[in-house]
């Protein structure tokens, strides 16, 4: 029998759904295990058809009153919501470290502050969504951003709290009501968001959280015609299925999907700096969609770069993510460990050269050595498909035209990194087909800037005005400058 609460390292969290302002139990549950040591954290409620229906019904019922509030009135609620996240900062850090394996240090210094900002920044930015005037000779146009309705938000397991709030901020600030389906393998911080919403006084039904698997809960959610928007971060196959299902109801979707991003090292690059940044690609055990995983290194500096990066990789501290000295933690699930190993085994069998790593790490069953594979073909599986683990590839090039072709030579186009003399690197970066690319840097983000990919890496953009363009219905109210008289011409 499922307990009313779970105790995870001293943090009390509900395993139940959060629907219409209250906790809702389920007759079906699923087991939740920690990637740190495979211990059972407890049983979590599985979302059945009745729970999905109740959540969407509650959101639809709450929508008229929530959407009728001004942006300033909604901001009061959302600022309180962010404050409640801040009050539970330690709890969020401990929960996500235990159920997702995210580094405790990253949670403290990066994720939780960013989660709060995701709420407050979009609440503030929504104040600027006043009527935008377009004045023409014939009429005054007032362009409005009206809330769309009930929004479904589906988040992945590699950064559950950050990505949930990244979508929740603009969706709620715009005046929508929301149903969140958190990741099955890491649902606990999303559950805690329900407590924050309740404590902040968000009206019942404005935020609903239904836990469960994608095949059960997620499928029921995205097939409901009452939804106005679906925002999903995850895998390409799942996005394709969601698109087909939502298409039957003409529901707009936003997808942030996988990456196979190039990390370009030009001959005129600062090799040591590029190598130090390269080692960052192993953070979160390589479970980062925007990481540069395909290293494209000029042949003239190949050996120097490999030696420099090996030096940084050998110093990485691999271990328990709850230890703030740890730099690389566990892979989320045994199935993901098997997937990573199978990619590596097939690559080596196909002729790839193993520079380092290539196997599990002695710290534990779900820990994997940072790995680099060289001498890989452009058309090989390991180059063309996302591994989503601490596995990188290295190829060499001899000219700018060659590296641009290699960088653009996959079906993905999320991010990228380019190291070299600034003008040269910028020139190369501008020709890489991707949603964003860092020049001589990595990870610089701003909530006002667009984020998203092209090709198989996604549809649409998130951030700033782009988030509101998706979560709103844009409407033009047209008022003529002169009295309008209808007239008909007859032949």
Residues paired with 353 in a beta bridge: 374
3-class state of residue 34 by DSSP: coil
Q: Strand ranges (DSSP E) for 309-443? A: 353-356, 371-374, 391-397, 412-413, 417-419, 438-439
H-helix or E-strand spanning residue 311: helix 302-314
Place of tokens 């085994």: 345
By CB neighbour count within 10 A (0-12 exposed, 13-18 middle, 19+ buried), where does 237 fall?
A: exposed
- In terms of Cα–Cα distance, which of 198, 383, 389 is closest to 282? 389
Q: Choose, from 46, 84, 96, 256, the residue flagged as catalytic.
A: 256
H-helix or E-strand spanning residue 112: helix 112-125
- In terms of Cα–Cα distance, which of 232, 211, 260, 271 is closest to 406? 260
Query: Residue 31 and residue 184: Cα distance in Å, rounded?
Result: 9
Query: Residue 74 and residue 87: Cα distance in Å, rounded?
Result: 20
Q: Choose, from 93, 289, 418, 472, the residue flagged as catalytic.
A: 289
Instruction: Indicate if 289 belongs to the active site.
Output: yes
Instruction: Indicate if 472 belongs to the active site.
Output: no
H-helix or E-strand spanning residue 289: none
- Active centre residues (catalytic): 256, 289
């Amino acid at each position: 029998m499922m307990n009313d609460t779970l105790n995870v390292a001293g943090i009390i969290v509900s395993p139940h759904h959060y629907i219409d302002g209250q906790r809702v139990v389920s007759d079906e549950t699923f087991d939740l295990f920690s990637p740190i040591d495979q211990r059972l954290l407890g049983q979590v409620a599985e979302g059945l058809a009745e729970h999905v229906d109740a959540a969407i019904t509650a959101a639809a019922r709450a929508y008229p009153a929530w959407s009728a509030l001004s942006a300033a009135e909604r901001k009061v609620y959302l600022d309180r919501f962010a404050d409640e996240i801040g009050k539970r900062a330690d709890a969020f850090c401990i929960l996500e470290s235990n159920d997702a394996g995210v580094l405790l240090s990253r949670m403290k210094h990066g994720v939780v502050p960013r989660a709060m900002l995701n709420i407050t920044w979009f609440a503030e930015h929504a104040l600027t969504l006043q009527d935008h005037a377009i004045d023409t000779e014939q009429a005054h146009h007032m362009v409005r951003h009206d809330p769309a309705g009930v929004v479904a938000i589906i988040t992945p397991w590699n950064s559950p709290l950050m990505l949930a709030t990244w979508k929740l901020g603009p969706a709620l600030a715009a005046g929508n009501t929301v149903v969140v389906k958190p990741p099955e393998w890491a649902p606990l911080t999303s559950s805690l968001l329900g407590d924050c919403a309740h404590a902040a006084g968000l009206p019942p039904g404005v935020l609903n959280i239904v836990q469960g698997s994608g095949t059960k809960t997620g499928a029921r959610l995205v097939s409901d015609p009452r939804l106005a928007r679906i925002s999903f971060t995850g895998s390409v196959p799942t996005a394709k299925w969601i698109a087909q299902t939502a298409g039957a109801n003409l529901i707009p979707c936003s997808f942030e999907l996988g990456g196979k991003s190039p990390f370009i090292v030009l001959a005129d690059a600062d090799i040591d700096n590029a190598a130090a940044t390269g080692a960052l690609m192993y953070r979160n055990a390589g479970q980062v969609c925007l990481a540069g995983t395909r290293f494209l290194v000029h042949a003239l500096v190949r050996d120097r770069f490999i030696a420099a990066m090996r030096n940084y990789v050998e110093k990485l501290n691999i271990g328990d993510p709850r230890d703030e000295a740890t730099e690389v933690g566990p892979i989320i699930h045994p199935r993901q460990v098997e997937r990573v190993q199978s990619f590596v085994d097939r690559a080596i069998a196909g002729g790839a050269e193993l520079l380092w790593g290539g196997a599990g790490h002695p710290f534990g069953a779900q820990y994997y050595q940072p790995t680099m594979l060289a001498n890989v073909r452009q058309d090989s599986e390991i180059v063309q498909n996302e591994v989503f683990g601490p596995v990188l590839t290295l190829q060499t090039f001899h000219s700018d035209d060659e590296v641009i072709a290699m960088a653009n030579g996959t079906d993905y186009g999320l991010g990228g990194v380019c190291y070299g003399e600034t003008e040269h690197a910028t020139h190369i970066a501008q020709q890489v087909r991707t949603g964003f690319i860092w020049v001589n840097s990595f990870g610089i983000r701003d909530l006002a800037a667009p984020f998203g990919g092209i090709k198989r890496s996604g549809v649409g953009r998130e951030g700033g005005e782009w988030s509101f363009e998706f979560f709103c219905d844009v409407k033009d109210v047209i008022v003529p400058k002169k009295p309008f008289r209808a007239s008909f011409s007859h032949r």
